[in-house]
């Protein structure tokens, strides 16, 4: 399976996104016999089986964790949190491929389910009722059909799909968010290489989503407010991507996307985009791109109770410039600078607006602006006989404003430094060692400067400092893996030891405040976690 994360300047096949996209291309099953594996360690067990089915192939795979039974036993008592339901997950995949009428047919069914519930201890035990529980549920199930066929010089592709998502988030009884959505989508493409220098792809995409949204949240006047909303979103689109070679070294990839966003937005969006690759030398390539992107706000933001159904689309202009250099010993180096300008973002509003029933608070408005600027470095040592290595580093700043003239602040998920280093080395006698090191800046947050007692409500209200003016400590962690493999004819047994967070650094996930907001305490992430496992492969 090939998984590509494209952080920006993606082509016109992808829409309704102003950040990045993840493109997943599943592989076909093997047809040279029946193969598979069973893997089990301290945290989960997984299984995969694949083989030929007539002229086609079939892959069946699944995984189930039991970390919810392990973590409450191994976590130290002073960790500051108690898993009433520790992280629990499962996922599954079914991939079927078969040749039909001169083309290739694929059916894919896959999904996952992740749940957790935690109880955070108060930073001041004089008020035990201040303990805070956090519960999350995220699952999806998806079915895709894919048919690809060569029709003379043209290649035809059609991919109908159905997906069901369920996302819920709960903080005690004060805030509840639950959205269930059903999405039907379809894509059809025609592509052709018209000449050695020119190729094109013409496609259409249709997306229809029905969702049920439920939100319960506190209001400024005291008490709570609840919204239950059922709505639909329609998003048909046409797109064109082309490949244009100008000479022997310069290639352009111009394209455009035309999308109609249905109720409640009812507007047409045109998104032109172009990328280029220029071979400056035999081992040096200049890459650049610029394009317009748009997306709908989140369902809560255009909710009739907690948001504003008159919101518009959110927009972004992506620009990037980079160089890829091939180095000796199968090493490649890529350096890319990027800038994204954002506008029309949904932001909280204190204004009012006129509706048919009278005047009401606006709550949300499409006045937000911002930018993301930074650079990326990727150094990769391709897998040779013994060594594989990978180093990526991103330096970035993400800034927002609620409206023109309003003060700027850091984006909630701004991370100045993001670094990942991976290395794996094959030793004699089927031994292998690997390591992964991660360093990530902590997310910004708004600090509490103290609290004021509210006699009417019988509790304390926080005095907040400048928005997102503080930052959590940086996350850093080193993980180690040691493998030993034995091969017996067509069966291999792999024993491995994984040690996560080997130097037991207490990374801060979030801060919890005392009942009177006079003190804070860190909520630490997981401590050092060793895991021993076996993988039987045939």
What's the pLDDT tens digit per position in 428-454? 999 999 999 999 999 999 998 888 988
Rounded CA gap, 359 and 327, in Å?
65
- Distance between CA atoms of residues 475 and 439, nearest Å: 6
pLDDT band at 199 (very low <50, low <70, confident <90, very high): very high
Which positions ≥6 away from 428 have C-beta within 8 Å? none
Separation CA 246–CA 380 (nearest Å): 29
Quick one: average pLDDT of 163-178?
83
Instruction: Kindly tell me if the per-residue pLDDT of 523 is higher than 80.
Output: no
Q: In this structure, what is the dihedral angle of CA atoms 65, 69, 73, 79, given to the nearest 10 degrees?
A: 70
Using alpha carbons, list the distances in angstroms from residue 276 to 194, 201, 239: 19, 17, 18
From the CB of residue 486, how many other CB atoms can be counted at a distance below 10 Å? Answer: 11
Contact 421, 437 (CB under 8 A): yes
* Percent above pLDDT 90 for the chain: 64
Average pLDDT, stretch 184-198?
94
Above 80 in pLDDT, residue 83? no
- Model-level pTM? 0.89
**Residue 302, SS3 per DSSP:** helix
CA distances from 27 to 212, 444, 538 (A): 34, 39, 18
Element (H, E) at 196: none
Residue 391 to residue 436: CA distance in whole angstroms: 10
**Residue 293 reports pLDDT greater than 90:** yes
Q: Provide the mean pLDDT of the chain.
A: 89
Residue 5 has pLDDT above 80, yes or no: no
489 band by pLDDT with thresholds 50, 70 and 90: confident
- The enclosing H or E element of 152 equals none
Closest by CA to 512, choosing from 125, 173, 218, 217, is 125
**Residue 92 pLDDT more than 60?**
yes
Residue 79, φ and ψ in degrees, nearest 5: -70, -15
The phi, psi pair for 8, rounded to 5°, reads: -175, 170
pLDDT of residue 74: 65
């Amino acid at each position: 399976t090939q998984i590509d994360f494209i952080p920006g300047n993606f082509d016109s096949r992808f829409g309704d996104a102003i950040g990045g996209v993840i493109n997943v291309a599943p592989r076909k099953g093997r047809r040279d016999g029946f193969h598979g594996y069973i893997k089990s360690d301290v945290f989960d067990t997984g299984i995969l089986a694949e083989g030929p089915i007539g002229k086609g192939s079939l892959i069946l795979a699944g995984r189930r964790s039991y970390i919810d039974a392990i973590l409450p036993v191994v976590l130290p008592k002073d960790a500051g949190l108690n898993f009433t339901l520790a992280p629990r997950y499962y996922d599954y995949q079914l991939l079927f491929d078969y040749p039909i009428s001169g083309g290739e047919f694929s059916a894919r069914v896959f999904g996952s389910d992740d749940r957790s519930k935690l109880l955070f201890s108060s930073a001041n035990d004089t008020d035990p009722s201040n303990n805070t529980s956090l519960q999350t549920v995220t699952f999806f199930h998806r079915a895709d059909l894919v048919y690809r066929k060569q029709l003379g010089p043209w290649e035809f592709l059609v991919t109908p799909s159905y997906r069901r998502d369920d996302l819920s988030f709960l903080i005690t009884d004060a805030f509840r968010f639950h959205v269930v959505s059903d999405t039907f989508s379809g894509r059809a493409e025609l592509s052709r290489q018209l000449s050695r220098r020119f190729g094109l792809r013409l496609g259409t995409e249709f997306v229809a989503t029905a969702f049920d949204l439920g939100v319960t949240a506190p209001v400024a006047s005291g008490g709570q407010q609840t919204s239950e909303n059922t709505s639909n979103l329609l998003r048909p689109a046409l797109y064109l991507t082309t490949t244009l070679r100008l000479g022997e070294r310069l290639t352009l990839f111009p394209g455009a996307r035309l999308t109609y966003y249905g109720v409640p937005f009812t507007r047409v969006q045109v998104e032109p985009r172009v990328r280029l690759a220029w071979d400056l030398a035999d081992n040096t390539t200049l890459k650049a791109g610029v394009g317009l992107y748009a997306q709908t706000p989140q369902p809560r933001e255009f909710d009739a109770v907690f948001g504003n159904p008159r919101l518009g689309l959110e927009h972004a202009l992506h620009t990037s410039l980079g160089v890829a250099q091939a180095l000796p010993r199968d090493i490649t180096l890529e350096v890319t600078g990027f800038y994204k300008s954002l506008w029309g973002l949904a932001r909280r509003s204190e204004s009012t607006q006129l509706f048919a029933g009278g005047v009401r608070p606006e709550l949300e408005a499409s006045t937000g602006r911002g930018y993301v600027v930074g650079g990326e470095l990727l150094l990769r040592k391709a897998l040779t006989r013994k060594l594989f290595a990978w180093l990526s580093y991103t330096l970035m700043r993400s800034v927002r404003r609620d409206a023109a003239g309003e003060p700027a602040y850091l984006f909630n998920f701004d991370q100045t430094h993001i670094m990942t280093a991976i290395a794996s080395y094959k030793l004699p006698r089927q031994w292998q060692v690997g390591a992964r090191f991660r360093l990530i800046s902590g997310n910004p947050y708004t600090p509490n400067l103290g609290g004021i007692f509210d006699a009417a409500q019988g509790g304390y209200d926080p005095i907040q400092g400048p928005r997102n003016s503080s930052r959590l400590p940086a996350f850093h962690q080193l993980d180690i893996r040691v493998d030993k493999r034995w091969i017996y004819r067509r069966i291999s047994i792999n024993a491995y030891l994984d040690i996560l967070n080997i130097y037991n650094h207490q990374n801060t996930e979030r801060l919890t405040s005392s009942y009177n907001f006079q003190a804070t305490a860190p909520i630490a992430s997981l401590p050092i976690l060793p895991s021993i496992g076996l993988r039987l492969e045939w």
